[in-house]
């Protein structure tokens, strides 16, 4: 493990794992999508393994819908990762869930990620880039051939976020939010209380101009938000075929 990666040992991951996954109910009725089987393992296992390999040692799971399925599957630890659960008695939205999760840690910066998506990324490099800019918040971006389903992120060549374009826009190739964020406590504390708040639709646009940055270092990306993308997940994680002799 590199020195840069080992620095992540003091950074807890906050994993959003409470959504209902309404679009997947047709193929996974009554299931929490982060524990949906991909190959022979639950999807979230791939996420946790990547965090452990990057040197993280703590993950806070933000649970809501079918929280019991997540806890039964993973318990108090996954390999070297200590697991803590931040349960939402009612939906808080992605930003509200992150704010609540901070009650479980004293860390000044957290790595926030979606439990139903996966982006290949050098998290140590992301951390070093974020620290070098002294940014209050940084998003990892990845480039896709068509941004229609995801929306896109506009940023300067230096990585300063200029704005966000909603899903269903013009489409075509572009940079999208890869679902990996480094956020300070002070930034997350701006999240309103008393209602559900979306980090993507409300807080990120509000943080433009406050030093929000974007790191264009994400690689291959997949989410399991639709039946089609869920079916594609097994091939995404399958080992590369051995070259023919």
CATH (domain of 157): 3.90.550.10
What is the number of domains present in the chain?
A: 1
* Residue 104 belongs to a domain: yes
Q: Which of 203, 141, 205, 198 is nearest to 173 (CA)?
A: 141
* Residue 196 belongs to a domain: yes
In angstroms, the CA 225 to CA 244 distance is 35
Strands 81-87 and 58-63: parallel
The model's pTM is 0.93
* Residue 208 belongs to a domain: yes
H/E stretch holding 213 reads: strand 212-215
* Residue 106 belongs to a domain: yes
* Residue 244 belongs to a domain: no
In angstroms, the CA 169 to CA 160 distance is 22
164 class by beta-carbon count within 10 Å (0-12 exposed, 13-18 middle, 19+ buried): middle
* Residue 245 belongs to a domain: no
In angstroms, the CA 5 to CA 22 distance is 36
| Helix, strand or coil, per DSSP, at residue 195 | coil
Q: What is the DSSP letter of 160?
A: B
Domain that holds residue 78: 8-235
Main-chain phi, psi angles of 182, to 5 degrees? -110, 120
pLDDT tens by residue, the chain, 245 residues: 444 446 899 999 999 999 877 788 778 887 899 999 999 899 999 999 999 999 999 999 999 999 999 999 999 999 999 999 999 989 999 999 999 999 999 999 999 999 999 999 999 999 999 999 999 999 999 999 999 889 899 999 999 999 999 887 778 999 999 999 999 999 999 999 989 999 999 999 999 999 999 999 999 999 998 999 999 999 999 975 444 44
* Residue 202 belongs to a domain: yes
* Residue 175 belongs to a domain: yes
Cβ-contact 71, 85 below 8 angstroms: yes
Strands 137-144 and 174-184: antiparallel
């Amino acid at each position: 493990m590199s020195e840069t990666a080992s620095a992540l040992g003091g950074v807890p991951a906050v994993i959003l794992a409470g959504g209902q996954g309404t679009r997947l109910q047709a193929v996974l009725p009554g299931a929490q999508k982060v524990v949906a089987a991909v190959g022979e393992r639950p999807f979230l296992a791939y996420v946790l393994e990547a965090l452990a390999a990057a040197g993280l040692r703590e993950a806070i799971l933000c649970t809501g819908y079918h929280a019991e399925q997540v806890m039964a599957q993973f318990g108090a630890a996954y390999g070297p990762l200590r697991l803590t659960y931040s349960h939402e008695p009612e939906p808080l939205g992605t930003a509200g869930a992150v704010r609540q999760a901070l009650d479980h840690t004293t860390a000044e910066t957290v790595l926030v990620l979606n439990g139903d998506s996966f982006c290949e990324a050098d998290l140590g490099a992301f951390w070093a880039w974020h620290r070098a800019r002294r940014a209050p918040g940084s998003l990892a971006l990845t480039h896709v051939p068509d941004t229609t389903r995801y929306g896109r992120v506009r940023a300067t060549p230096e990585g300063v976020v200029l704005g966000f374009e909603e899903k269903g826009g013009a489409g075509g190739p572009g940079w999208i939010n890869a679902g990996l964020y480094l956020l300070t406590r002070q930034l997350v504390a701006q999240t309103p209380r008393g209602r559900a708040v979306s980090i993507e639709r409300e807080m990120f646009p509000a943080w433009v101009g406050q030093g929000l940055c974007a790191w264009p270092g994400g690689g291959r990306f997949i989410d399991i938000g639709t039946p089609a993308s869920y079916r594609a997940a097994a091939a995404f994680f399958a080992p590369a075929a051995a070259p023919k002799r």
